[in-house]
Chain A
Amino acid sequence: MLIDVHAHFYHDRTPRADWRERNASRLAAGEKIGITIHVASILGSWGRTSPTYFPSPADLPYGNDALLALVRDHPNRIRGYVTVNPNYTAHARGEILRCLAAGMIGIKLAASRRASDPLLDPICDIARDRDVPVLQHVWQHRRRDWPGQEASDAVELCALARRHPDVRFILAHIGGGGDWRHSLAAVRAAPNVYVDLSGSGVDAGMLEECLAAVGVARLLWGTDLTMDTGWAKLRSLERLLSPEELDLVKWKNAAGIFPRGAFPFD
């Protein structure tokens, strides 16, 4: 069993003319790697009609519906996070409730609003009430603002996590660029923050330091945009962990933070 907690798909209203090939490639690579479930999100129009990290209320439902269609087409392979923009509070609440009712199993927050901002509180309240995790896009040690996103780092996510101790948060792509040691130092004392191993970074020592910082019980396996790096980290974990520990990272930790019944094997 292997759950990818950080996957993405595309649709016909993104800038990608090759969106079908990219979706098919993810599924085909997943078969080779042995991925049982891709837990995915679609960030609005991926920049076509609103910015990727600031998706508009018009684009979000289209992306979320495209993902729901993929879940219906691949009921044993794909699950969804509902993506919302916290700047539009009422829309975000409505979209979360609509998509969770339709079968999505988590909430995806990109970089539309700093994670520590009070506008994220109503979203976390729903996550608590509906018992779903929040996957927060994170820039590992944001030293400044970067164009195109209002990125958050682990310190800011942990501030949110302290305000919502009953919500489970996933710190996105520890290998996704930036100083991951800064993030690990921040999440060490945040028991409701899980670390997603995805991202293109395959730095030597990163896996060992993740284990040292949060232990095997708070690590989640994922890929994001580069499945080869995900597979490489999985292969590295095989030499660092016992088979029982490896199963925690591969799927058992994920099965524990998503709602019961979220996966076919639940």
Chain B
Amino acid sequence: MRIDVNVFLGAYPYRRVPGTSPDAVLRAMERVGIDEAWATHLPGLFWQAPAEGNAWLYETTTRAPRLKPVPAVHPGLPGWEAVVAEAVDRGAPAVRCDPTYFGLDPGGAEMRGLAAACGAARLPLLSAVRLEDVRQRHPNDRAAELPAAALRALLRSHAKLRLVVTHADRALVEEVHFGSTPEEAARVWWDICWIWGPPEDHLETLLGTVGVERFVFGTGQPLRIPENAVAKLDLLDLPAAQRTAIESGNVRTRLSR
């Protein structure tokens, strides 16, 4: 069983990306052996009202049950509480908010309000540190990367909040993990898509220092080729139980609602 927590559906505004349709993503999942994917409507992340992409997302994932909807919520807009409530009602595995893309202070009052609502609803909150390498971003793509300080602030803001952070590199993972209490650090999970393998061995190091239980499988497809996350795991000499934990076990046992 392999669950990908980091998948997008739909076109990307800053460059042409192949394979963004639900059918194409499902084919890519089949190709690399991904059974289930947490998916977000990608164009909506760049809309004034990101939640307006959620209706399409729910409809699409209803037709393709291997895709699980992770709807976008903008806590600075009126009615955001209803978006969270709908996610709960529809059984979404998480909601997502990318504050720097939405023009929000990533550790500010709106985000802390969302963190509280997610914590109270036992609904994980998912955010990406970045969507692309800063060196290759479109000149008009100026959203800041998600800072570690904001993640620490969110973890401290509500004792029940569970965070899933995608596209983080080793430095950010370490800064949040070791800058938090053990109780706080135990409420954040990191996808592996942006963490380097050999010869730098950042992923191997983090599994030893931060712990296998903190990591989940994620690809960032279709912006990134999904083969990469699988290759990272294939390059590790992980016991089967640890690999299973990363590929699906941590999601099923620690991030279930």
Q: Which residues of A contact B (CB under 8 A)?
A: 21-23, 25-26, 28-29, 32-33, 139-140, 143, 177-181, 200-205, 207-208, 225-229, 231-233, 235-236, 239
Are B235 and A236 closer than 8 Å at their CB atoms? no
Taking A29-B197, A205-B17 as contacts, is the C-beta distance between A228 and B235 under 8 angstroms?
A: yes
Are A203 and B227 closer than 8 Å at their CB atoms? no
Cβ-based interface call for B142 (8 A): no
> In the bound complex, how far is the Cα of B196 from the Cα of A225, in angstroms?
9
Cβ-based interface call for B254 (8 A): no
In the complex, which residues of chain B have a beta carbon less than 8 angstroms from the beta carbon of A178?
135-136
Partner of B228, one of A22, A143, A180, A202: A202
Report the nearest B residue to A176, measured CB to CB: B135
> In the bound complex, how far is the Cα of B214 from the Cα of A259, in angstroms?
48
Render B220-257 as a binary contact track against A, CB cut-off 8 A, 1 for contact: 01111101101110110000000000000000000000
Are B133 and A200 closer than 8 Å at their CB atoms? yes
In the complex, which residues of chain A have a beta carbon less than 8 angstroms from the beta carbon of B221?
204
> In the bound complex, how far is the Cα of B229 from the Cα of A235, in angstroms?
12
> In the bound complex, how far is the Cα of B224 from the Cα of A233, in angstroms?
11
In the complex, which residues of chain B have a beta carbon less than 8 angstroms from the beta carbon of A235?
227, 230-231
Are B136 and A180 closer than 8 Å at their CB atoms? yes
Are B198 and A202 closer than 8 Å at their CB atoms? no
Are A26 and B198 closer than 8 Å at their CB atoms? yes
Interface residues of chain B: helix, strand, loop or mixed (majority): loop
Are A32 and B235 closer than 8 Å at their CB atoms? yes
Residue with the highest number of chain A CB atoms closer than 10 Å, among B224, B231, B234:
B231
In the complex, which residues of chain B have a beta carbon less than 8 angstroms from the beta carbon of A207?
225
Shortest beta-carbon distance, B196 to chain A, in Å? 5
Are B18 and A208 closer than 8 Å at their CB atoms? yes
Nearest 5 A-B pairs (CB), nearest first? A228-B197, A177-B135, A232-B228, A29-B198, A26-B199
> In the bound complex, how far is the Cα of B199 from the Cα of A225, in angstroms?
7
> In the bound complex, how far is the Cα of B154 from the Cα of A227, in angstroms?
34
Are A23 and B16 closer than 8 Å at their CB atoms? no
Are B231 and A228 closer than 8 Å at their CB atoms? yes
Q: Which residues of B contact A (CB under 8 A)?
A: 15-19, 31, 132-133, 135-136, 139, 196-201, 221-225, 227-228, 230-232, 234-235
Residue with the highest number of chain A CB atoms closer than 10 Å, among B198, B199, B224:
B199
Are A205 and B196 closer than 8 Å at their CB atoms? no
In the complex, which residues of chain A have a beta carbon less than 8 angstroms from the beta carbon of B18?
204-205, 208
Are B136 and A140 closer than 8 Å at their CB atoms? yes
Are A203 and B199 closer than 8 Å at their CB atoms? no
Partner of B235, one of A29, A201, A205: A29
Partner of B198, one of A28, A143, A201, A233: A28
Shortest beta-carbon distance, B200 to chain A, in Å? 6
In the complex, which residues of chain A have a beta carbon less than 8 angstroms from the beta carbon of B222?
204
- Work out how many contacts link A and B, with CB atoms closer than 8 A: 94
Are A179 and B227 closer than 8 Å at their CB atoms? no
Shortest beta-carbon distance, A75 to chain B, in Å? 20
> In the bound complex, how far is the Cα of B226 from the Cα of A231, in angstroms?
12
Shortest beta-carbon distance, A249 to chain B, in Å? 15
Are A232 and B227 closer than 8 Å at their CB atoms? yes
> In the bound complex, how far is the Cα of B189 from the Cα of A100, in angstroms?
50
Partner of B231, one of A143, A179, A232: A232
> In the bound complex, how far is the Cα of B132 from the Cα of A32, in angstroms?
28
In the complex, which residues of chain B have a beta carbon less than 8 angstroms from the beta carbon of A29?
197-199, 235
Are B198 and A228 closer than 8 Å at their CB atoms? yes
> In the bound complex, how far is the Cα of B221 from the Cα of A228, in angstroms?
16
Are A202 and B225 closer than 8 Å at their CB atoms? yes
Report the nearest B residue to A181, measured CB to CB: B15
In the complex, which residues of chain A have a beta carbon less than 8 angstroms from the beta carbon of B224?
202-204
In the complex, which residues of chain A have a beta carbon less than 8 angstroms from the beta carbon of B31?
239
Are B235 and A233 closer than 8 Å at their CB atoms? no
> In the bound complex, how far is the Cα of B17 from the Cα of A205, in angstroms?
6
> In the bound complex, how far is the Cα of B199 from the Cα of A23, in angstroms?
7
> In the bound complex, how far is the Cα of B201 from the Cα of A26, in angstroms?
10
Partner of B199, one of A25, A140, A200, A205: A25
In the complex, which residues of chain A have a beta carbon less than 8 angstroms from the beta carbon of B231?
228-229, 231-232, 235
> In the bound complex, how far is the Cα of B199 from the Cα of A5, in angstroms?
16
Are B19 and A226 closer than 8 Å at their CB atoms? no
> In the bound complex, how far is the Cα of B133 from the Cα of A235, in angstroms?
22
Shortest beta-carbon distance, A206 to chain B, in Å? 8
> In the bound complex, how far is the Cα of B132 from the Cα of A195, in angstroms?
22
Are B225 and A177 closer than 8 Å at their CB atoms? no
> In the bound complex, how far is the Cα of B139 from the Cα of A56, in angstroms?
34
> In the bound complex, how far is the Cα of B225 from the Cα of A34, in angstroms?
21
In the complex, which residues of chain B have a beta carbon less than 8 angstroms from the beta carbon of A232?
225, 227-228, 230-231
In the complex, which residues of chain A have a beta carbon less than 8 angstroms from the beta carbon of B17?
203-205
Q: A225-B200, A227-B198 are in contact. List 16 more A-B contacts (CB 8 A).
A: A21-B201, A22-B199, A29-B235, A32-B235, A140-B136, A178-B136, A202-B224, A203-B17, A204-B223, A228-B198, A228-B228, A228-B231, A228-B232, A232-B227, A235-B227, A239-B31
